[in-house]
Amino acid sequence: MTARLDELRRDGVALAETAEGLLLPLIDVGHPRFTVCDDEATLRRLRREVEADERRHDLLPRFLLAWMLRRAARTSRFVRAMTEPQSTYLDGISTYAMKLGAANLVPPFDGEIDERFAASPRATVLRLRMQQMAGLLADAAQRQERLAPGRPLHVINIAGGPAMDAINAVLLLSRRTPGALGGAIKIHVLDREESGAAFGQAALAALQSGGPLTGVAVGMRWLPYDWNETAVLERLVGEIAAEGGVIIAASEGGLFEYGSDAAILNNLRVLASRGRGAGAVVGSVTSAHLARRRNPIQSRLAVVPRGVEGFVPLAVRAGFTVTRSHDAVLSHQVELTWAG
């Protein structure tokens, strides 16, 4: 553990503790240790590798694959998180650690099986998902700053866990235009669990204490939230609008992937708020490809593989237009703008 942590520190990687007391490296998609190549050739290769992996799984009887997963869960924190009987979604910290990359794993996520998973094409597309989310959020924030210079920027992150997509958007912005982030930035994490946001707060503190966000006025708070009940979101959007703030919203691996059609519509309609809400909404949408490939993990997790083609009508009904979409093989990262 000490050798890996020392190596990360030498490479300028910041570290922060989770609520459990786990010391984890902080993903920075602009740092060579974390950047994933995002070009057509890489996407084609990843797609071939994912499909080959699925074909291998298809050759195994379902009972045998389930037994292999149960056995692997004894020593693998990642597999255990994906196969917990009571879970229908992945917890924020485990999902975050899956995006670190095999060369950046630290205990308790550095077992042999965990390292193999972290090097797999599925883990790579998870990393790419967050990188694309951060890029879309940074672009949206930059556009809002041009439209409303000097107004405080609020990022509403629904089911955001540690909200590292939003933190990375701030990192990207700070590098693109040093000194341009003069206004205050507030990240609001709306989630069932506080542990993810607690790690996000620790991450920001580390990045602001001599790290790349030193001097940048960015803060984070957690609000308990169930996306099936939008009262908390309605109050938050109203408060920000009354104060003259600018809103962008995000949900990586959250609302658009696990939420029902009704939940997505209700949340988007609140975010639209007749043009007084979010100027842009960025989120990940599970590929419809997964509807045709159901392994034991996918069967248990309550993900809805509606694809972009199934998501666009929901966005339109809520008053938004899908203006950009990035492919990460198993998901598309979309940017929505209010159609009004």
pLDDT on residue 336: 97
80 in Cβ contact with 116 (< 8 Å): no
Whether residue 142 sits in one domain with residue 98: no
98 and 82 housed in the same domain:
yes
Q: Which of 65-69, 226-230, 292-296 has the lowest mean pLDDT?
A: 292-296
H-type alpha helices, 194-306: 195-208, 231-242, 255-258, 261-272, 296-300
3-state secondary structure labels for all residues of 72-120: HCCCCHHHHHHHCCCCCCCCHHHHHHHCCCHHHCCCCCCCHHHHHHHCC
Mark whether 156 and 81 lie in a shared domain: no
276-302 pLDDT, tens digit per residue, is 778 899 999 999 876 455 554 454 557
Same domain, 83 and 170: no
Residues 77 and 165 in one domain: no
Q: Tell me, yes or no, whether 167 and 115 share the same domain.
A: no
> For residue 214, is it left (φ>0), alpha (ψ between -120 and 50) or beta?
beta
Show which of 125, 145, 179 is a domain's final residue: 125
- Count of domains observed in the chain: 2
Domain coverage including residue 219 = 131-338
283 with 139, same domain: the answer is: yes
In a shared domain, residues 277 and 214: yes
CATH assignment at residue 161? 3.40.50.150
In the prediction, which pLDDT does 184 show? 84
Q: Which of 69, 101, 125 is the last residue in one of the domains?
A: 125
SS3 322: strand
Which of 125, 145, 180 marks a domain boundary? 125
- When mean pLDDT is compared over 108-117, 163-172, 181-190, the highest value belongs to 163-172
pTM: 0.90
Per-residue confidence band for 197, with pLDDT thresholds at 50, 70 and 90: very high
What does the pLDDT look like over 18-62, one tens digit per residue? 988 999 999 999 999 999 999 999 999 999 999 888 777 676 666
Q: What is the percentage of the chain residues whose pLDDT exceeds 90?
A: 63
Maximum pairwise Cα distance, the chain:
59
Could you tell me if 142 and 171 lie in one domain?
Answer: yes
Residues 222 and 307 in one domain: yes
What one-character DSSP code corresponds to residue 125?
H
**Residue labelled with tokens 């389930």:** 66
In a shared domain, residues 182 and 300: yes
